[in-house]
Amino acid sequence: MIRPTHQQSSGRCTPLTAPSQLLERHQVTLSTRHLLFAGDLQDDYCRQFSPHHTSVYTHYYHHARRLLPWLGSARVHCTLLPERSLTAVCDTVLYYWPKNKGEAQLHIFSLLAILPVTTDWWLVGEQRSGIRHVEPLLSPFGIVTLVDTARRCRLYRFRCTLPPPFDLLNYWDRYGYQGLTIKTLPGIFSRDGLDAGSQLLLEQLPALQGRVLDLGCGAGVLGVVAKQRYPAIQLTLSDVQAPALAATQATLAENQLSGSVVASEGFSDLQGLFDVIITNPPFHEGRQLSTQATAAWIRNARDYLAPAGRLLLVANAFLPYATLLDQTFGSHQLLANQSRFKLYQVTKQ
């Protein structure tokens, strides 16, 4: 189980998302339940309920860190698969639909495999994220009812009559790159093959030595290729997503390579200084374009680089990172400039 090791301040609650605002219309009914919040939890709506009747199961480490100070470690679960201890503390699931249908199926079917059939399911999400898939996904296994619609969201209830079969082996996929096997799971960026940005970085990858960090590693492709080419490096790979961490560990094992895999929100749980940081950072939060996480990574990278350490960052060409790199490091190099992607290198002076 992934346990957050550095608690965030409980502080002010995050603004409610549209799905939570839809759920809030039914709060009188929900307030008497023992609730399990699951899925893509992008706000703190769960804090409107008693912490003694609330638990969380998420694939996202940064969501777990945010909720840990309020709920405590016994009630915040950040794991690839849900733990059976959840069955003792919940009679109702509030599931937030993610943008990836395969990820939703992995979440939901793994929970259905351990929860009693009497569990009451409430599933909510934005229409643009594909919440309509609830009906064809779950109707073969029980009764699906549309309860409410508002703010371009839908809220369904589901009562299971026949739990679907679940085997994690059916969710694994793989692809090859330069003799390596990359193992992937639903919801991981570029699950079906190497993306063009990572390919550009790997084509231009300079010589590496010392401690190397693959930040936001996904399935670990940047790190394992670096380790294959430069076996002497000390490799660390980090991500916020439980499937990504599991896939990275599987990818290392499949290729008989060594590396330390760490759950971390940016640099939150990373220790020591690195000689090189390589990254193809995300620029979405859910379906919203956002560069806030990458901007924080760039600003914080300076504190985690050894003297003369380097940051290698590939990004879509339209994203405004050059100015931030110059502000943080004084200057930058453009190692590659394509129509869609740019590869930046900065050095800590």
**Could you tell me the pLDDT band of residue 228, with boundaries at 50, 70 and 90?**
very high
Asked whether residue 12 is assigned to any structural domain, the reply reads: no
Q: Are 1 and 83 in contact (CB under 8 A)?
A: yes
Q: Tell me: do 34 and 88 sit in the same domain.
A: yes
Q: Tell me: do 130 and 253 sit in the same domain.
A: no
Q: Read off the pTM.
A: 0.92
- Residue 78 tokens, joined: 């950040």
Q: Tell me: do 34 and 119 sit in the same domain.
A: yes
Asked whether residue 10 is assigned to any structural domain, the reply reads: no
The domain in which residue 281 lies consists of 172-347
Q: Tell me: do 183 and 299 sit in the same domain.
A: yes
CATH number at residue 292: 3.40.50.150
- Look at residues 110, 138, 168 and tell me which one is the last residue of a structural domain: 168
Q: Tell me: do 142 and 177 sit in the same domain.
A: no
Q: Tell me: do 29 and 154 sit in the same domain.
A: yes
Mean pLDDT of 253-278: 97
In whole angstroms, how far apart are CA 3 and each of 58, 79, 103, 157, 261? Answer: 12, 9, 21, 31, 14
The type of residue at 200 is: L
Q: Where are the alpha helices (DSSP H) in the chain?
A: 18-24, 27-30, 61-71, 101-112, 134-138, 196-203, 221-229, 242-254, 292-304, 321-329
Rounded Cα distance, 92 and 166, in Å: 20
Rounded Cα distance, 217 and 3, in Å: 19
For CA atoms 218, 247, 78, 97, the dihedral sign is: positive
Q: Tell me: do 62 and 200 sit in the same domain.
A: no
Q: Tell me: do 336 and 302 sit in the same domain.
A: yes
The H or E element that residue 219 is part of is none
- Look at residues 125, 149, 168 and tell me which one is the last residue of a structural domain: 168
At 9 the pLDDT is 40
Q: Tell me: do 95 and 134 sit in the same domain.
A: yes
Asked whether residue 114 is assigned to any structural domain, the reply reads: yes
At 10 the pLDDT is 43
Q: What does the mean pLDDT of the chain come to?
A: 93
At 288 the pLDDT is 55
- Kindly state the percentage of the chain with pLDDT values over 70: 94
Rounded Cα distance, 253 and 251, in Å: 5
Q: Which positions ≥6 away from 41 have C-beta within 8 Å?
A: 56, 58, 60, 63, 67, 96
Least confident stretch, 108-122, 243-257, 274-288:
274-288
Asked whether residue 282 is assigned to any structural domain, the reply reads: yes
**Could you tell me the pLDDT band of residue 233, with boundaries at 50, 70 and 90?**
very high
The H or E element that residue 216 is part of is none
